[in-house]
A = this chain, B = another copy of it.
Amino acid sequence: MTVTLEDIQAASARLAGHAVRTPLLESPALSERVGGRLLIKPETLQLVGAFKFRGAYNRLSQLSDDERRRGVVAFSSGNHAQGVALAARMLGVPAVIVMPTDAPAAKIAATRGYGAEVITYDRYTEDREAIARTIAAERGAITVPPYDDVHIIAGQGTLGLELVDQARTLGAELQMVATPVGGGGLVSGVAAAVKGLIPDARIWGAEPEGFDDIARSLATGTPQSNIPGARSICDSLQPPTLGKITFPMIEQLLAGVVAITDAEAAEAMRAAFIHLKLVVEPGGAAALAAILAGKISLAGKTGVVVLSGGNVDPALFARVLNGEL
């Protein structure tokens, strides 16, 4: 199973008039710092403050009438939860969301605010997929996985179509795109879209250290797991397993995936604050972090970095601004 450019174009038609066409920004200061032309795709400005709305809406808008009545269930550390909750409300579908107890309070509150029923679990001892499966079985609800689903991937890929079109409008010849990587739904969808239109473009991903199962799987050629007991401030990039659909797409389409530290994520958040006036959450800043740290080089090139989300608790953001992280 894979996702094609045509799948993504069809998703784009479904999302038209529902999702935000986020702008493509340019930062002279950051471009100067990295020695290339750095364009910014701020999905922080998307509905629910993250790209996740795209995939969720693409999936839910294809439910049958019977499925809509039965409702949906999703498991998520936060942004997918909000995406599913809002898409469900827009489409009149009941939604149950399984979220870790230590998810950012802002994300749990926002998910409830969109009218979803939230059930919490312990991220380190309980199996969220099993909990979601039980709810699905009891209620007959449709499970909406966070990334390993062709409709979800196609929905996320729509932002790749947009950024190619927007770069052309700016007269920029796009050579690379970098996105944060959790389960890989975003990066594989964007890669399918961008390389479908610009085959020579190089697509990069960035993961948090300790949760860099994809980077290590690519490096070793065999499937790797996240480091047991790992911790990261990038709460949105901690999926427990490699995607059966996303990982093969990443293997086939990406130039590489790199790992970034908490300190690098915090530095990228500060750079986005100062130079872009954008609020970016730690995981949402992972690709920018990799570029600013020199782990992905933009020297002499034109590229787009995706800021994938901005749902961060004020207290954590204040600590980052004060240099405490």
Query: Which A residues lie at the B interface, using CB under 8 A?
Result: 20, 22-23, 25-26, 28-29, 42, 44-45, 47, 49, 106, 113, 270, 273-274, 276-280, 310-311, 314-315, 317-319, 321-322
Q: How many identical chains are in the complex? A: 2
Query: Which of B20, B28, B317 interacts with A273 by CB under 8 Å?
Result: B317
- A-B interface, 9 closest residue pairs, ranked by CB to CB distance from nearest: A277-B310, A318-B318, A314-B321, A44-B277, A277-B279, A318-B321, A23-B23, A318-B322, A49-B277
B274-A106 in contact (CB<8A): yes
Expressed in whole angstroms, the Cα–Cα distance for A203 and B314 within the complex equals 32
Q: List 21 A-B contacts (CB under 8 A).
A: A22-B23, A23-B23, A23-B45, A28-B47, A44-B277, A45-B277, A106-B274, A270-B314, A273-B317, A277-B278, A277-B280, A278-B278, A278-B279, A279-B279, A314-B322, A315-B322, A317-B318, A318-B318, A318-B319, A318-B322, A321-B321
Residue of B nearest to A313 (CB): B321
CB contacts (< 8 Å) of A273 on chain B: these are 279, 314, 317
CB contacts (< 8 Å) of A280 on chain B: these are 277
CB contacts (< 8 Å) of A106 on chain B: these are 274
Expressed in whole angstroms, the Cα–Cα distance for A144 and B84 within the complex equals 51
- Candidate in A49, A276, A315, A318 with the most chain B CB atoms within 10 angstroms: A318
CB contacts (< 8 Å) of A22 on chain B: these are 23
What distance in Å separates the Cβ of A113 from its nearest Cβ neighbour in chain B?
7
CB contacts (< 8 Å) of A270 on chain B: these are 314
Residue of B nearest to A311 (CB): B277
CB contacts (< 8 Å) of A315 on chain B: these are 321-322
CB contacts (< 8 Å) of A274 on chain B: these are 106, 314
CB contacts (< 8 Å) of A47 on chain B: these are 28
Expressed in whole angstroms, the Cα–Cα distance for A322 and B318 within the complex equals 7
A113-B279 in contact (CB<8A): no
What distance in Å separates the Cβ of A111 from its nearest Cβ neighbour in chain B?
13
